[in-house]
Structure 1
Amino acid sequence: MSMFRKKSFDQMANSAQGSFKKTLGAFDLIMLGIGAIIGVGIFVITGTVSAKYAGPAITVSFVLAGMVCIFTALAYAELASLLPIAGGAYSYSYVVLGEVFAWMAGCFVIMLNAFGSATVASGWSSYVTGLLKYAGVELPEAFLTVPAQGGIANVPAILITLAICSLLVRGTKESALINTILVFIKVGAILIFIIAAIPHFDPVNWNDFMPNGIDGVILGTGALFLAYSGFDVVASSAEECKNPGRDLPLGIIGSVALCAVLYIIVSGLLTGMVPYFELNTAEPMAYALRKNGANFGYALVAVGGITGMTTVMLMQIFGLSRVIFSMARDGMLPKIYGKLHKKFNTPYTALATIAIVNVITSGFLPIKTLGNVASMASLASFVFVGIAVMKMRLEYPDAPRTFKCPLVFVFASISVIASTYLIYELAKQDGDAFGICVLIGLLIYVVYGYKNSSLSNTYKSA
């Protein structure tokens, strides 16, 4: 037996037969993608990236980060249409790269969505408490901050985590419907910001367009990559698609492209409304509106921020539960995580475990480390996807593909190189935490996954 053993196309297809109801179309997938992408990136980190790194040239940083993400999204789209199965990067790696790489890809996706959703829950808590304070309601500080910051626990973050996990247990279609409603609300809030911001745009604020030169733009690009993460959730929903060959590429590429356009417009208006160095705040859009006297617009944008982060958490936990389900179905996690609810047909045991873990992380751990580990995990999974799509073209050139990534070796190589470089930069800050998580993942594979995987059982019975 070997840690590099692979699953065949047929094995993957057979394991997926009859697992989920096929309820999602192209529109649902685009809404899922937008719901997963737009959140902290546009409502929170746009301000700090402008103030610390790129200045008004944040628009250029968004373009560059968006291009890298489009390259990665094209690779995801080809693999998702070729292998329309739950699990995303994990499942692709199992077929193309081998079991140990599939395990690590699965770990990266788990880390991304677990730490990422916990990070967003913390940001959601800040927006909610800020809006309540604006309305004259102040909550005890001890129940809003983690122990490392002198508090007891971030209670709002805990409550939103439990609420979302409970919603997802009820089913995909119900969750997708609520997600679509929330997407329209938050996109509406962004459009209101755009309309309110145009009269206050002052070209003078763009005079120092690139205050830190090209280095600032590159640093901004790295910091903004997280703003686009989430489109991989669409690939994880492959088994629930009505027409995956057509709808998956539309869902993945369409959601990234639409979000990129919104990001560029908003960041351009934001840095034109107020001097970039004033935007070092966790609520830049709201701050810009308040400074220009648009208090009603501020309230709407705050609601949009809360809504945006709610949909991001919804889709991150959705994707995480599907990856855990896929790994349990393959025997690399305990079989209990591969069980579906008898009534709702959802992976309820996986969702229950996610709820417990995220209550601990979002309620008791600092947001900085959570965010950086999530970013590195996201980039690492993108490296695996880029390598997998190139290897698939070489080893399976005649496999039926309903979508082909154009210039695949160029685009996928750019994605792999850019993602690796950004991991290197982020590792300077929180590399130890990321490394510990990777080592724990490998230990679980050696102790449990290697011996209990479905491929291991196949070899034993042969």
Structure 2
Amino acid sequence: MIMSEPSVSRNADKLVKTLSTPVIFFAAIKAIIGGGVIALTGVIIANTGGGTPLAYLVASLITVLAGIPYAVLAATLPVTGGIYSWPSRLISPTCGFLVFWFFSLTHVSLSLYALTCSDYLMAFFPDLPKTAVSFVILTVIYLANLLGAALSARLSMILTIIMLCGMLLFVGEGIGEVEIDNFTTLLPNGFAAFATSVALLLFVTNGACTVAELAGEMKNPARAIPVAIMGSTAFAALIYMLVSVTATGILPLSEVAHQPLTVVAKSFMSPGSFLFFSIGAGIISMLGITNVQMLWGSKSLLVACDDGWLPRSLGRVSLKTRVPYLLLTLLYLIGVIPILCGISVSNIASAAAITFLAAQIVCIICSWRVRKTPAYQMSSFRISPALHIITATLSIAILGCMIVMLLRDTDSKTLSVMGVWLLLGITLIFVRRKNVITNRVLASEGAK
């Protein structure tokens, strides 16, 4: 049963509905495309070799499958910070907080994008200090998001268009240079390595789901969310396949493993085209995906603060820009720390993928529970019980297997950090649970 929303003053109520469906659609495309192809293709080639396009295809199909029940949930209950709000209201407040807390580790990927962006800059300026450049990149995006969600979303839309032009130029000039021999061995390191690659890619191919976090700032969330999740994922799958085939099929695989796409692009693109690709699909793409994550990343934190799990003052929203500036600062710190500590890109990606997939499993469970609410009968996006059961069950089983594969290949240091983070969240449950109960009692009384 869904609990009444508080009528008392909440920070989340200060957000304004400024985001249109086209803006959300482009934000979803940016959340999917840029991060995966640009930041992880070299890692996937190292794991999977000629099977890289197949890994992208499988990840995209799984994403579409899981996106069906996810879209049902998001369209029925378009709330701010769904990753926290859905399990909190449909399962239990404790479950909601634990899911949100573990999921918050996903934001270490901010450092992944900043580091990758600096890699592309260093293609032109090889003597640049990578750590310092990554720090500056993340700082600039953080400052831009402090100016407001509407500005940030429009900036993301412009960056997405430039990024797509760069990628299409890469494919257009390179597809004719592809050597079929590079794809003769699809699983050079075995099925386990292939499955791990698919699991890593699910973190980014599922990126469209994150736009549901922005429901409180959308003009028409019930329409915008399903369109963004399903439409952008299908479009991104085509881009993924074209780019991954080009990236894998031109140079010997040993030369592109763990390397940015500029290594491939430089081998066949003219100087002018290479410059546009590196800036548009590399630098601007990474700026865009970092910007989108800053845009949606604070929303579950904001609602958790309103409910009492974290100090309410931490979720304070600026009356001028309508952004939770303290929470944005917290996200910024989560992204900066791995950069300053020199943590590897692959370890950052593994931690982010595990936490993201775990949260998505819980949200898919919530999608079934929401069918029992009155809101579902008025939803603009409904599916048959049979289709819901099939897609939800298959999605949970596949995502669970992917988590197991990632855990198996993640180093002990990263697992230790994740374990400590989870224990800290459990401790907060015992410390703050009384505050949450009090807040909900006041909300219930205020709703009468």
TM-score w.r.t. structure 1 length? 0.87
In structure 1, stretches of 5+ residues that fail to align are 1-5, 145-153
Displacement after TM superposition at 1:279 (Å): 2.1
Aligned match of 1:387 in 349, 352, 365?
A: 365
Is 1:44–2:39 an aligned residue pair? yes
> What per-residue deviation string (whole Å, max 9, x for no partner) do you get for residues 292-317 of structure 1?
36444332222121111111111112
- Provide the residue aligned with 1:421 in structure 2: 401
Alpha-carbon offset, residue 122 of structure 1: 1.9
In 2, the alpha carbon distance for the partners of 1:360 and 1:343 equals 29
1:352 shift after superposition: 2.3
Matched, 1:453 2:440: no
Provide the residue aligned with 1:109 in structure 2: 103
Aligned pair partner of 2:422 in 438, 453, 458: 438
What SS class does the counterpart of residue 420 from structure 1 fall into? helix
Structure 1 203/403 Cα, relative in aligned 2: closer, same or farther at 3 Å?
same
CA offsets, 1:2-21, max 9 Å, x none? xxxx7525559996984322
AA at the equivalent of 1:118: S
Q: Which residue of 1 aligns with 2:3?
A: 8
- Separation in 1 of the partners of 2:404 and 2:80? 29
Residue by residue over 1:93-137, the C-alpha shift from the partner in whole angstroms, topping out at 9 and shown as x without a partner, is 11111011100121133211x21112222222222223322xxxx
Seen in structure 2, the aligned counterparts of structure 1 residues 194 and 107 have a Cα distance that, compared at 3 Å, is same
Q: Which amino acid aligns with 1:203?
A: I
Matches within 5 A, 1:355-374: 355-367=332-344, 368-374=346-352
Aligned-residue offset at 1:222: 2.0
Q: Secondary structure at the match of 1:38?
A: helix
Task: Tell me the residue number matched to 1:351.
Answer: 328
In structure 2, distance between residues paired with 1:41 and 1:335: 35
**Does the alignment pair 1:124 with 2:87?**
no
Could you tell me how far 1:409 is from its partner in structure 2?
A: 1.3
- Distance change (3 Å), C-alpha of 1:369 and 1:217: closer
Q: Does 1:289 align with 2:277?
A: no
- In 2 relative to 1, CA 293–176 (structure 1 residues): closer, same or farther, beyond 3 Å? closer
How far is the alpha carbon of 1:361 from its aligned partner?
A: 2.9
Report the CA distance shift for 1:173/1:82 in structure 2 as closer, same or farther (over 3 A).
same
Give the one of 5, 24, 31 matched to 1:29. Answer: 24
Please list, as runs of the form range in 1=range in 2, the aligned pairs for 1:309-320 lying within 5 A after superposition.
309-320=286-297
Instruction: Tell me by how many angstroms 1:219 deviates.
Output: 3.4
The equivalent residue for 1:400 is 378
User: 1:311-358 CA deviation, whole Å, 9 max, x = no partner?
Assistant: 111111222211211111112111112321111111112112323343
Counterpart-to-counterpart distance in 1, 2:51 and 2:282: 23
The 1:178/1:397 distance shift into structure 2, 3 A limit, reads closer
Q: Aligned equivalents of 1:289 and 1:50: distance in 2?
A: 15
Give the fraction of aligned pairs with identical amino acids, expressed as a percent: 23
Runs of 4+ displaced beyond 4 Å: 9-18, 212-216, 394-398, 454-457, 459-462
Matched residue of 1:130: which SS?
coil
Asked if the contact 1:51–1:278 (Cα under 8 Å) also holds between the matched residues in 2, the reply is no
Question: Residue type matched to 2:400 in 1?
Answer: T
How much does 1:223 deviate? 2.9
**Aligned pair partner of 2:143 in 153, 166, 177:** 166
CA contact (8 A) 2:45 2:258 kept: no
Question: Which amino acid in the other structure matches residue 388 of structure 1?
Answer: C
Please state how far the C-alpha of 1:400 moved relative to its aligned partner: 2.2
Show the counterpart of 1:410: 390
- In structure 2, relative to structure 1, the CA distance for the partners of 1:14 and 1:416 (3 Å cut) is farther
TM-score (norm 2): 0.90
The RMSD of aligned alpha carbons is 2.6
